[in-house]
Amino acid sequence: METRRVGTSGLAVSRLGLGTMTWGRDTAAQEARALLESFCEAGGTLLDTAAAYGAGDAERLIGRLVAEVSRREDMVIATKAGFVIRNGKRIVDTSRRALLRDLAGSLRRLNTDYIDLWQIHAWGDAPLEESLAAMDHAVAQGMVRYAGISNFVGWQTAQAATWQRAFPGRTPVVSAQVEYSLLARRAEVEVLPAVEAFGLGFFPWSPLGRGVLTGQYRRGTPRGSRGSSDHFAWFVEPYLQTRSRAVVEAVAKAADGLDLTPLEVALLWVRDAPLVTAPLLGARTAGQLKACLDTEAKSLPTEIATALDDVSGGPMVARTG
C-alpha cells in the first residue's frame, strides 16, 4: 500500500487507516485479529483508536494483537483522549488531568511505551491552552511522538494550530480528523481550508457515509447492519433520508459504468480527494475490509469524481482551484 506524509510533518502512514471503534463490542477478538492480519499483509500501518472505544477494550485488543500479528515499530498507533461514556452519558473532559489520565490508561492498555499520534478527541470546556499544554508535556516526556485533534470545527482547528505555533518549543498540531464523505462534505467549508493553511494531515472518518454509500440500504435495512443494531441505528439514520438517496444512486450508477462496486467508488472519491491523508475504515469483518483494500490499484476518472462532486453538494474548490 502506498504511504503518505501527514501534512508537512515527518510522520508517514499508509493511505488507508484501520478504525477500531467497534472492537471489543461488535467486533470480537478473533474477527479483530483477522482484520489486523489482512490490513498488515496489504501494507497498512495506521491503526486509529480511542480511550473511549469499547470502554478501553479496543485498545486492549490492539495491545495484544499488534504483538502477535506485527511489530510495534512497523505500526502507527493513533489514539484519542478527553472523551468518555459514563453511565450512558457522553462526557467531554479536556482538562490536563483528564487528558493525562486517559493517556496513562491508553499506554497501559496498548502495552506500549509511546503513542505515535495522540489526539484530543473533541473540543471541550477546559481552556484550550491547558489542553495543548498537556500535549506538550506528553511529547516532552516521550509518551507521545506527534499530536493531533479530532472533531474540531474550522475556527477551533485554526486556533489550536496557531497557539502551538506562537512560541518555539511547543508541540505542533500535525493532523485533524473529522467526518468526510460524499454524504458529509461540511469539512470543505472551514476545516479543510484550515488543514491546507497550516499544513496538517487529514483523516476522514466514516468515508463510506456510515455504510450507506455501499448501497446496502437501498432496499431497506439489512439484518446485521449497523442500521439494524440498537446502539448504532441513531448513527446511520440521518443518512437514510430522502436527501441522501440521490447521492447513493449516483454512486451506484457510476459504479455500474466503471465496473466497480459502490463501496469502491465512494472510498476512492475520499481517498484521492485533495488534502486527504488517509480515510479511516470502520470495517467490522474481514470481508468488508478486503473490499476496501482491493481499491489499492484503482482510481476514479477525474470527470466521474467531478460529477459526484456536483451531485453531492457542488464543485469542490480544492479540486477545481
Count of residues in the chain = 321
pLDDT of residue 228: 62
3-209+270-299, what's its fold?
TIM Barrel (3.20.20)
Helix, strand and coil in the chain, % to nearest 5: 45, 20, 35
pLDDT of residue 185: 97
| Paired strand residues for 119 | 80, 148
Active site residues: 53
Least confident window among 11-20, 24-33, 236-245, 282-291: 236-245
pLDDT band, residue 231 (cuts 50/70/90): low
pLDDT of residue 35: 97
* DSSP character string of 17-52: EEE-TTBTTTB-HHHHHHHHHHHHHTT--EEE--TT
pLDDT of residue 193: 98
The domain locations on the chain are 3-209+270-299
Q: Residues near 307 by Cβ (< 8 Å), separated by ≥ 6? A: 250, 254
Q: Which residue has the higher pLDDT, 202 or 219?
A: 202
Least confident window among 49-53, 83-87, 178-182, 271-275: 83-87
pLDDT band, residue 218 (cuts 50/70/90): confident
pLDDT band, residue 224 (cuts 50/70/90): low
pLDDT of residue 302: 96
pLDDT of residue 89: 82
pLDDT in tens, 270-296: 999 999 999 999 998 999 999 999 999
Predicted TM-score (pTM) of the model is: 0.95
Instruction: Give mean pLDDT, residues 57-82.
Output: 97
Q: Is it the case that residue 219 has pLDDT exceeding 80?
A: no
